[in-house]
Amino acid sequence: MSTPTIDEHSSALDEAEQGTSHLITVTLRIRRFNPEVAAEADWVDYQLPIDPKERVLDALHKVKWEIDGTLTFRRSCAHGVCGSDAMRINGKNRLACKTLIKDINPEKPITVEPIKGLTVLKDLVVDMEPFFQAYRDVMPFLITKGNEPTRERLQSAADRERFDDTTKCILCAACTSSCPVFWNDGQYFGPAAIVNAHRFIFDSRDEGGEQRLEILNDKDGVWRCRTTFNCTDACPRGIEVTKAIQEVKRALITRRF
């Protein structure tokens, strides 16, 4: 059994235990929009001192709390599990609370804008309703027939593992709003809804797979996917989104799942 002591430290641990890092000055270039004030969106620059180990969310809070209280964004847990703060940072969809300043080239202005394909309501806040509607449309709940057992349903560890990846989804919309097909046609269900359908289609306890597959066989369904992998790159939970979509396509062809 290992007994770590001060002398055995890796350089990463030494670095992590440094109380305060040096502060650097960064420029946040934020896409601002407030229809109560102006009809058009505009880029606004904010300069601020920050510890490079802090998160983009910390930088946004510094702007809101110390410079301009009108800056508006959603956030809650601040460590990547609630899915509130998906935004486009330096052109890529990320969670602001999972993106450290030091990891995104802070020498240059850091651009922050709302995720694409959903109507912007104010600053970084978008209308999430179409996104959640697509989710609700795939029947995202366990469907079973017959009498319920008294105890739990049995499921082998292997059967449980089969859909493990897609249970990680936090519905942040980073995937769906990175999809070029979704940008061009908001009717497309989008990756997140398909991920959540996958989570049930491949659950051995579920008996609603056929119904869900029919929903996804629709013209706005799974066949719209052009496998650009944007969704997989964007997912902050590391879900293999494109693979899940491909598995749903295959299930539609073979009707085996």
Partner 1 sequence: MQIHKYDTVIVGAGGAGMRAAIEATKRSRTAVLTKLYPTRSHTGAAQGGMAAALANVEEDNWEWHTFDTIKGGDYLVDQDAAEILAKEAIDAVLDLEKMGLPFNRTPEGRIDQRRFGGHTRNHGEAAVRRACYAADRTGHMILQTLYQNCVKEGVEFFNEFYVLDQLITEVDGVKRSAGVVAYELATGEIHVFQAKAVIYASGGTGKFFKVTSNAHTLTGDGQAAVYRRGLPLEDMEFFQFHPTGIWRMGILLTEGARGEGGILRNKDGERFMEKYAPVMKDLASRDVVSRAIYTEIREGRGCGPDGDHVYLDLTHLPPEQLDAKLPDITEFARTYLGIEPYTDPIPIQPTAHYAMGGIPTNVQGEVLSDNTTVVPGLYAAGEVACVSVHGANRLGTNSLLDINVFGRRSGIAAAEYAHANDFVELPENPAALVVEMIERLRDSTGGERVSDIRTELQETMDANVMVFRTEQTIKTAVEKIGELRDRYRNVAIQDKGKRFNTDLLEAVELGNLLDLAEVMAVSALARKESRGGHYREDFPSRDDVNFMRHTMAYREVDANGTESIRLDYKPVVQTRYQPMERKY
Contacts of partner 1 in 66-105 (CB under 8 A): 66, 68-70, 72-84, 98, 100
Residue nearer to partner 1 on the CB measure, 23 or 37? 37
- As a whole number of angstroms, the longest Cα–Cα distance in the chain is 64
- Site of tokens 């992998």: 229
Residue nearer to partner 1 on the CB measure, 76 or 187? 76
Q: Considering only 41-49, 116-124, 214-222, 243-251, which stretch makes contact with partner 1 by CB under 8 A?
A: 116-124
Cα 86 to Cα 98: distance, rounded to the nearest angstrom: 10
Q: Name the residue among 166, 210, 156, 215 with its Cα closest to residue 189.
A: 215
Q: How far is the CB of 184 from partner 1 (least distance, A)?
A: 26
Q: Considering only 40-48, 110-118, 175-183, 198-206, which stretch makes contact with partner 1 by CB under 8 A?
A: 198-206
Cα 215 to Cα 76: distance, rounded to the nearest angstrom: 33
- Site of tokens 């799974």: 222
226 contributes a contact to partner 1 by CB under 8 A: no
238 φψ region: left (φ > 0), alpha (ψ -120 to 50), beta (else):
left
Query: Is 156:203 a contact under the CB 8 Å cutoff?
Result: no
Residue nearer to partner 1 on the CB measure, 79 or 108? 79
Q: Considering only 14-22, 24-32, 225-233, 242-250, which stretch makes contact with partner 1 by CB under 8 A?
A: 14-22
* Helix or strand (DSSP H, E) at 95: strand 92-95
Q: How far is the CB of 31 from partner 1 (least distance, A)?
A: 15
Helix, strand or coil, per DSSP, at residue 134:
helix
- Determine which residue in the list 21, 23, 35, 38 makes contact with partner 1, applying CB under 8 A: 35
Cα 201 to Cα 215: distance, rounded to the nearest angstrom: 12
Q: How far is the CB of 101 from partner 1 (least distance, A)?
A: 12
Q: Considering only 23-31, 107-115, 151-159, 216-224, which stretch makes contact with partner 1 by CB under 8 A?
A: 151-159
* Helix or strand (DSSP H, E) at 89: strand 86-89
Encoded tokens for 48: 């601020």
Our measurement of the distance from residue 162's CA atom to the centroid of its chain's CA atoms, rounded to an integer in Å, reads 21
Helix, strand or coil, per DSSP, at residue 152:
coil
Among positions 44-63, residues that touch partner 1 (CB under 8 A) are: 53
167 contributes a contact to partner 1 by CB under 8 A: yes
42 contributes a contact to partner 1 by CB under 8 A: no
- Determine which residue in the list 26, 118, 128, 216 makes contact with partner 1, applying CB under 8 A: 128
Residue nearer to partner 1 on the CB measure, 136 or 226? 136
21 contributes a contact to partner 1 by CB under 8 A: no
- Determine which residue in the list 44, 48, 104, 140 makes contact with partner 1, applying CB under 8 A: 140
